[in-house]
């Protein structure tokens, strides 16, 4: 409704400006004709035109008065009403009649008022004036007869023997002859000109409407893109962290059309940082709003303590509730434990990032990607894990980087990105400079977004030595009592203690099953609370076994098939904020952590 109203107002403004210019042209024409009539009148009174009846000066003065009255009305009346314009045209047509009658000018002078009316973009007004003009043209032969002007080509002559010539036809006959032999052909030409003028009027008005609508649409699109760009840039964090344990830098270079690229990062508790890069399908305002929704949902889920896979699960469910545009977003989301370098991540159909090791080695972080976010119900996103060492850097990016083209149509490509990283261009600014040099000024058709995470020196944390427990049921019970006692002493809430007990019981049972299937082994367990993070560490000397490599069970399927078990480590990962495994000095070391809130 707003766009239509604005378009109508724009059209009215264009037509009003055109009317003003036509009014001014009519004013100048009336003034010029007035000056011409005045000169002709003076010349007539001075007998410059031999044989011309001086009585026609009366009609010339009437014409002069009408023209001056039109000029005066324009000067005094600035409202430019239809009456004013009608008076202009009427004066011009009467002037045409008088000039045609007195000076025998061509009838086609009546086309001049028609052309002026056409410029007003008013088809009906044009037709009305055309009818009046045609009527005046028909009246002219009889008016000429009335004022005593004889057009010699329409009279009969009689020649006598003495050589004299006498006009023998009567005035009425002369008038009808002029009407039949000159006025009718002139009216035919006049009608054709009127038809052309009406067509020009309608066509011109249509073009103005189309151009007005096009201009309005262009303005609306530019406004939408401006608002979308504001939303896009306003939500991107700009306070990049540069701390002892990690640093993050990022950039987003938009294309001409606003897309839906975005990046985000946030500190989760005291020891973790989450970060992501995403690319929304589509352009303009819908993509910007979808971007804002996706970004807000993922951030909210992470800030509420959810692991990366669950955060994505819930964001997907929420996005589907209001996705009328059927947009989607690809996301690479990671969460880095700053104390250990453990990185958990989810890839929802996005480009795999590059891991640049401290020694300069570059590798692609490939995994089987999950489905895109926002298009399919009931998705369960899979979490993957890897380790980063001090000095390692992780580059996340959108396909605007690899799809950047040069004037020859060649793309920047994933391979070129990897070669640049291997050559030492390990910063978002240097990589952007490389893209610009490669593109050589070619148009950018997609947003280019990059985010670089550098893992630095982890903060040293010392945990207690703990105690040793037998890998049997009695040892299990003693270990559980030890863990509760240690956490209670540290002031943990009952909820935290219960979650740690459930998780610890599952871990101990898992160790008894896989590390010591024949019994006889021991487990060293330490339980501490450091920097408001409850931490329990399990060490066993069994064969190397990483329980985190096991895929999550399909809960619905196992319930349908009435299968019990297989949920131990899955439960642990859901209850804990962080779970990590390592093989150290011939021992399996599993650590579970939960922040105190």
The two structure tokens encoding residue 382? 């899979």
Q: How far is CA 244 from CA 248, 269, 566, in A?
A: 12, 16, 40
pLDDT for position 563: 44
Q: What is the mean pLDDT of residues 335-347?
A: 92
The alpha-helical segments, DSSP class H, found in 326-427 are: 399-402, 414-422
pLDDT for position 185: 76
Classify the C-alpha dihedral 173-179-180-181 as positive or negative. positive
Q: Is 558 helix (H, G, I), strand (E, B) or coil?
A: helix
Q: Phi first, then psi: what are they for 362, rounded to 5°? A: -115, 130
Domain ranges across the chain: 2-215, 242-455, 467-595
Q: Phi first, then psi: what are they for 280, rounded to 5°? A: -90, 140
CA distance 88 to 66: 9
Q: What is the mean pLDDT of residues 194-208?
A: 76
Q: Which CATH superfamily is domain 242-455 in?
A: PPM-type phosphatase domain (3.60.40.10)
User: Is the model more confident about 178 or about 527?
Assistant: 527
Q: pLDDT-based confidence at 502, cuts 50/70/90?
A: very high
Q: Which strands sit side by side in the sheet containing 448-455, from one edge to the other?
A: 246-253, 448-455, 393-397, 354-356, 362-364
User: Is the model more confident about 342 or about 90?
Assistant: 342
pLDDT for position 445: 81
Span 110-120, pLDDT tens digits: 676 777 677 66
One fold for both 242-455 and 467-595?
no
Among 14-23, 232-241, 571-580, name the most confident range.
Answer: 571-580
pLDDT for position 562: 41
Instruction: Examine the pLDDT at 4 and tell me if it is beyond 50.
Output: no
Q: How far is CA 438 from CA 220, 254, 344, 414, 428, in A?
A: 34, 17, 34, 14, 15
Query: How is domain 467-595 classified at the CATH fold level?
Result: Heat Shock Protein 90 (3.30.565)
pLDDT for position 411: 94
- Are 508 and 464 a contacting pair, CB within 8 Å? no
The two structure tokens encoding residue 586? 């011939």
pLDDT for position 55: 63
CA distance 101 to 198: 27
The answer for residues whose C-beta is within 8 angstroms of residue 554's C-beta and 6 or more apart is: none
User: Is the model more confident about 151 or about 564?
Assistant: 151
User: Is the model more confident about 231 or about 528?
Assistant: 528
pLDDT for position 238: 84
pLDDT for position 150: 62
pLDDT for position 275: 97
- Are 588 and 544 a contacting pair, CB within 8 Å? yes
Query: What percent of the chain lies above the pLDDT cut of 90?
Result: 38
Q: pLDDT-based confidence at 80, cuts 50/70/90?
A: low
Q: pLDDT-based confidence at 507, cuts 50/70/90?
A: very high
pLDDT for position 349: 94
Instruction: Examine the pLDDT at 336 and tell me if it is beyond 90.
Output: yes
Span 236-271, pLDDT tens digits: 888 999 998 999 999 988 876 556 788 999 998 878
- Are 175 and 142 a contacting pair, CB within 8 Å? yes
Among 71-80, 430-439, 441-450, name the most confident range.
Answer: 430-439
Q: For tokens 């009808």, name the residue.
A: 176
User: Is the model more confident about 289 or about 434?
Assistant: 434
| pLDDT, the chain, mean | 81
Among 5-19, 246-260, 529-543, name the most confident range.
Answer: 529-543
């Amino acid at each position: 409704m707003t766009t239509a109203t604005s378009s109508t107002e724009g059209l009215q403004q264009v037509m009003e400006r055109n009317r003003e210019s036509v009014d001014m042209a009519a004013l100048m024409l009336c003034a010029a004709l007035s000056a011409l009539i005045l000169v002709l009148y003076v010349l007539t009174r001075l007998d410059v035109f031999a044989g011309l009846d001086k009585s026609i000066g009366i009609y010339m003065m009437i014409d002069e008065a009408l023209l001056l009255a039109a000029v005066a009305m324009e000067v005094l009346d600035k409202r430019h009403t239809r009456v004013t314009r009608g008076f202009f045209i009427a004066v011009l047509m009467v002037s045409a009649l008088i000039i045609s009658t007195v000076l025998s000018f061509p009838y086609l002078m009546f086309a001049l008022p028609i052309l002026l009316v056409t410029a007003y973009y008013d088809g009906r007004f044009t037709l009305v004036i055309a009818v009046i003009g045609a009527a005046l043209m028909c009246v002219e032969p009889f008016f000429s007869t009335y004022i005593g002007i004889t057009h010699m080509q329409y009279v009969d002559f009689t020649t006598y023997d003495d050589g004299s010539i006498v006009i023998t036809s009567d005035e009425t006959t002369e008038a009808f002859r002029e009407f039949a032999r000159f006025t009718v052909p002139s009216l035919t030409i006049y009608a054709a000109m009127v038809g052309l003028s009406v067509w020009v009027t309608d066509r011109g008005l249509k073009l103005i409407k189309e151009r007005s609508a096009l201009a309005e649409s262009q303005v609306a699109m530019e406004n939408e893109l401006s608002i979308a760009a504001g939303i896009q840039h306003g939500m991107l964090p700009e306070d990049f962290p540069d701390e002892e344990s990690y640093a993050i830098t990022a950039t987003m270079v938009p294309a001409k059309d606003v897309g839906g690229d975005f990046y985000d990062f946030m500190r989760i508790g005291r020891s973790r940082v989450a970060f992501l890069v995403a690319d929304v399908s589509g352009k303009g305002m819908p993509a910007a709003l979808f971007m804002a929704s996706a970004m807000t949902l993922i951030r909210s889920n992470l800030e509420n303590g959810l692991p990366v896979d669950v955060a994505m699960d819930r964001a997907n469910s929420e996005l589907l509730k209001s996705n009328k545009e059927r947009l989607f977003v690809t996301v690479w989301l990671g969460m880095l434990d700053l104390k250990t370098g453990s990185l958990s991540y989810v890839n929802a159909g996005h480009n795999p990032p590059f891991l640049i090791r401290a020694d300069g080695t570059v590798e692609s972080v490939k995994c089987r990607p999950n489905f895109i976010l926002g298009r399919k119900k009931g998705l369960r996103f899979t979490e993957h894990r890897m380790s980063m060492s001090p000095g390692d850097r992780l580059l996340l990016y959108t396909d605007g980087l690899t799809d950047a083209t040069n004037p020859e149509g060649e793309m920047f490509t994933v391979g070129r990105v990897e070669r640049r990283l291997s050559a030492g261009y390990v910063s978002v600014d240097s990589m952007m400079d490389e893209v610009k040099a490669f593109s050589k000024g070619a148009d950018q058709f997609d947003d280019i977004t990059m985010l670089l995470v550098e893992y630095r020196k982890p903060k040293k944390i010392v945990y207690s030595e703990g105690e040793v427990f037998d890998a049997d049921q009695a040892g299990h019970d003693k270990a559980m009592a030890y863990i509760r006692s240690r956490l209670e002493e540290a002031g943990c809430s009952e909820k935290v203690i219960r979650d740690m007990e459930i998780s610890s019981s599952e871990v101990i049972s898992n160790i008894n099953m896989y590390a010591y299937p024949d019994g006889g082994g021991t487990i060293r367990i330490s339980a501490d609370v450091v920097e408001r993070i409850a931490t329990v560490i399990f060490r066993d000397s069994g064969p190397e076994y990483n329980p985190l490599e096991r895929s999550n069970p399909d809960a619905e399927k196992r319930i349908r098939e009435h299968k019990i078990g297989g949920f131990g480590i899955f439960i642990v990962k859901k209850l804990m904020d962080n779970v990590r495994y390592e093989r150290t000095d011939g021992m399996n070391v599993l650590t579970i952590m939960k922040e105190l809130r």
